[in-house]
Amino acid sequence: MALLSIVLPAYNEEQNIANTAAVLKNCLESAGIEYELVFISDGSRDDTFKEIQKAAAADSRIKGAEFSRNFGKEAGIFAGLELTEGDAVIVMDCDLQHPPQVIPEMWEKWQQGAEIVEGIKKSRGEESLGYKLSAGLFYKIMSKLIKMDMNASSDFKLLDRKVVRVLLELPERNTFFRALTFWAGFQTETVEYEVQERQFGESKWSFWSLMRYAIANATSFSTLPLQMVTVMGVVSILFSVILAVQTLIKYLFGNAVEGFTTVILLILIIGGFIMLSMGVIGHYISRIYEEVKGRPKYIISKITDNVQESVLGAWKK
Ligand code: UDP
Ligand code: MG
């Protein structure tokens, strides 16, 4: 019988582990799906990993690992994928905001031949103003850049083993799981779901961490910001030609452009353009620097007893 693996990244989620495991058990057993749960504690500062160990000791279908520090949700997802053994893998949040009731539907579509089943948000529940200004805005821009609706798509997906293998082979460190499945292609189906209220605890994202996540993801998926630098250059060259001609004509007719105002404005505008462009280029260089160093995406410091010891310590990628 086919096995379903569920990857659950968890950062300071001690209150959610036992409950989520129980809810999933209930849901999957009644749907007759054979499964395993992989919890990755992302360097939690509370007892999340102890809870995972407790759950794993009570049920051999549950396993997990702890990171040496907080590496972020992306790293958690990839470490989870690495530990899975199932023929299909579902990635979902461990706060039950992704409703487990949709899992049987995803499973069904996979059995009918889908290689990726995307979870699509019907509505985003409660959205704060902070969200609309950061992540919301970011997803709008991203959707334009990569031509898919990022606002409705989520990290809640089912992947066939083939797709997992492809994702795990990717050499890049700065991954963006949500968009990578679109990039990978494969036969894709969708399942709609209603985003639920968080069960316990609170959201781990602050405005700034979302902002950082947004910029990192946008630049890992597109070089459009770099092309914008060229566009800005072309625009300012056109503008300077016009201004130069006008200034020279005025000069030849004996009434040169007056005063410092023009000079100050020009310096400010061009200075602004140059600094912005250097910032954009600098950002890409820093990304190259990070990739070139070749450090691992995450470091696993602890594992539950049913996980192979070879995953301890740094990975080869
Ligand atoms: N998460 C993680 N590492 C982090 C931040 C979050 O593994 O650095 C996990 C978190 O435990 C949860 C999921 O990612 O399972 C989504 O996070 P959260 O619920 O805080 O985000 P929101 O649902 O508010 O977008
Ligand atoms: Mg959540």
Query: What confidence tens digit (pLDDT) does each residue in 277-312 have?
Result: 898 899 899 889 988 988 889 999 999 888 887 777
Query: What confidence tens digit (pLDDT) does each residue in 176-222 have?
Result: 888 888 888 898 898 988 888 877 777 777 777 777 777 777 777 77
DSSP 13: -
Closest residue by Cα to atom 23, ligand 1, is: 203
Query: What confidence tens digit (pLDDT) does each residue in 62-73 have?
Result: 999 999 999 989
Q: How far is CA 208 from CA 5, 100, 205, 218, in A?
A: 32, 30, 8, 15
- Is 250 a residue whose pLDDT tops 70? yes
Distance (angstroms) between ligand 2 centre and the Cα of 30 equals 25
Q: Position 171: which residue type?
A: P
Helix (H, G, I), strand (E, B) or coil at 4: strand
Question: What is the length of the chain?
Answer: 317
Q: How far is CA 221 from CA 88, 153, 180, 246, 292, in A?
A: 26, 16, 9, 42, 17
Task: Identify the band that residue 124 occupies on the pLDDT scale cut at 50, 70 and 90.
Answer: low
- Among 121, 204, 300, the mutation site with the greatest number of ligand 1 atoms within 8 A of its Cβ is 204
Residues at CB less than 6 angstroms from ligand 1: 9-11, 13, 42, 70, 72-73, 76, 93-95, 97, 203-205
Of 79, 73, 95, nearest to 23 (Cα)? Answer: 95
Question: Could you tell me the pTM of the whole model?
Answer: 0.81
Output the pLDDT for position 315. Answer: 57
Atom of ligand 1 at shortest distance to CA of 9? 7
- Please tell me the distance from the alpha carbon of residue 307 to that of residue 286, in angstroms, as a whole number: 35
- Is 317 a residue whose pLDDT tops 80? no
Of 122, 116, 36, nearest to 80 (Cα)? Answer: 36
Alpha helices in the chain (DSSP H): 17-30, 48-58, 73-83, 103-111, 129-131, 137-146, 161-169, 177-184, 207-221, 224-252, 259-293
Task: Identify the band that residue 146 occupies on the pLDDT scale cut at 50, 70 and 90.
Answer: low
- Please tell me the distance from the alpha carbon of residue 156 to that of residue 122, in angstroms, as a whole number: 13
- Is 134 a residue whose pLDDT tops 80? no
Output the pLDDT for position 206. Answer: 73
- For the CA atoms of 77, 82, 86, 92, the dihedral, rounded to the nearest 10 degrees, stands at -10
Query: What confidence tens digit (pLDDT) does each residue in 77-109 have?
Result: 999 999 999 999 999 999 989 999 999 999 999
Output the pLDDT for position 18. Answer: 93
Q: How far is CA 98 from CA 59, 104, 120, 193, 231, in A?
A: 23, 13, 10, 8, 41
- Please tell me the distance from the alpha carbon of residue 66 to that of residue 44, in angstroms, as a whole number: 8
Q: How far is CA 186 from CA 77, 113, 180, in A?
A: 20, 11, 11
- Percent of residues, the chain, with pLDDT higher than 70: 91
N- to C-terminal Cα separation, the chain? 32
Residue 158 pairs with which residues in a beta bridge? 90, 117
Q: Are 159 and 181 in contact (CB under 8 A)?
A: yes
Closest residue by Cα to atom 22, ligand 1, is: 203
